Amino acid sequence: MKTTKKIFAAFLAVMMIALMIPFSASAASKDTITVTFAPYEAIGDYAANTEGTADGTYTMGIYKIANLEASGLFKAFNNDADLQNAINESNEQQILSKANELTTTTLPTASDTLTFVINSTNKAATDTTGTLTKGIYYTRMTDDKPGSVTAVANSIFVIDGVTDATTARINKVSTAAVNVTKTVDHDTIGYDRDVVYTLTASIPGSVDEKINTYVITDKMDDNLAFVSGSVKVFKGNTQLSADKYTVNTSYTNPVDEDEDVTFAVALAPAYLATDAFYAEGDIKVTFTAELKADSTVAMNTEMPNTDGLVYGNTNNLTYKPGQTVNVKTFGLKVVKVDGATNAYLAGAEFALYDDAKCEHPVTLNGKAVTATSVANGDGVAFAADGVEYKFAAISNKTYYVKETKAPNGYNLNTTVFNFVVGSSDSYTFVNGQSGVPNYKVVVPATGGMGTIIFTISGAALIAIAGVLFLVLKKKSAK
């Protein structure tokens, strides 16, 4: 018996040093063992995880891979020869290696299952088991773990009925931060222009620790509409074929059912099961949104669009909120005034152009964008076919306005006005709120001095013409 104890003690020492993963055993079979799981602490070759990356629920199975026989020797389960050789050599590295090669079908039935919940207030968690008899035990993290896990260090501990301890610290994980971002190609949207959003999400898990759920969600403002068929999905810079994802316009967030979404892009489980998904390169989703035809949004009002990511495994999903970006609508108005009196004038017509020569009118649904002035200081908004024009200008693009018809009795203002739509006011005014001036047509008054002068001048010319005619006629008679 003394010899057996010495051999076991040596075995124990080798196991404790080999991977530097602490463990201990109960004083007697079926004593309660308290297991501590601390993913935010460094153990051996595993560095401490970063804040928040290891949060979640972990399920660990405990498997008896060798029984302590009455002879004082350990016997591998199922008479596994390779595992028995590693045990005989007291080599924990080899024992772990052989145990890690076992599949869910070749592992023995779990002797117990432990659960650990890690969060911002519980950086380490404990669970207890009192069902284990003498033997060597192998711990393996199940698929019920956060999707951020990229690697797991399984471990071994021994119950021999000799060592006086009832606690163990087993298993260590590596995790990666999961990020979700969003951008939009323009911060203004209008009936004349849609916008394109890009949602980018990093890759959870790893080739060794695969996930089976990856869904990018999107929630749009009620004034925005998702353009069906506009979705494109990329892995890095490579566009994915349609069989690798589905687009769902009816989706309930399984983590937060109150988080309504406009649509969701779910990667196919078959694709998530391949190594290609875990290769370098984020997942990017692009899609187009438009302003709803019945939109009642006020000018210069932010319309938010928010994304997020649901990821992980069937019974252990995480929702990572993304970013919110906003778009707005901006209007264009014109005020018409009398250049001499500043009185407001109605009836002047204006057209909107893309070029300084005013050869390319801006159109909306095939209709030219125009404005007809009204006699008030609020001005009139540019519209197409009677619909107010929700103007969406690019910040570095110049637009042009030209008067095409003057009010009755006024000369046409031939100035071409250029501008960039502002981002701080609901409306940008052509030539400012002081307005575009027109001047009256000057016509000489009937019966006035001007008329007399014109009449006298005309008579004189006629008389001169008559005299010249007579002189020429006499000369020709001679």
Which is more confidently placed, 111 or 476?
Answer: 111
> Each residue of 226-247: pLDDT tens digit?
998 999 999 999 999 999 999 9
CA 206, 209, 215, 218 torsion: positive or negative?
Answer: negative
pLDDT at 346: 97
Lowest mean pLDDT among 234-243, 430-439, 448-457: 448-457
Contact assessment for residue 285 and residue 261, using Cβ atoms and an 8 Å cutoff: no
> Each residue of 194-209: pLDDT tens digit?
999 999 999 999 999 9
At residue 430 the predicted structure's pLDDT band, cuts being 50, 70 and 90, is: very high
> Each residue of 335-362: pLDDT tens digit?
999 999 999 999 999 999 999 999 999 8
Query: Does the fold of domain 331-438 match that of domain 180-327?
Result: yes
Measured CA angle at 362 (ends 407, 225), to 5 deg: 125
Pick the CATH number of 331-438 from 2.60.40.10, 2.60.120.460, 3.40.50.10600, 3.40.50.2300: 2.60.40.10
> Each residue of 379-411: pLDDT tens digit?
999 988 877 777 777 777 889 999 999 999 999
* Six token digits for residue 94: 């080899």
pLDDT at 474: 60
Give the domain ranges of the chain. Answer: 2-175, 180-327, 331-438
Pick the CATH number of 180-327 from 3.40.718.10, 3.20.20.70, 1.10.1740.10, 2.60.40.740: 2.60.40.740
Domain 2-175 adopts which CATH fold?
Immunoglobulin-like (2.60.40)
| Residues 219/221/224/226 CA torsion (nearest 10 deg) | 10
The answer to whether the pTM exceeds 0.85 is: no
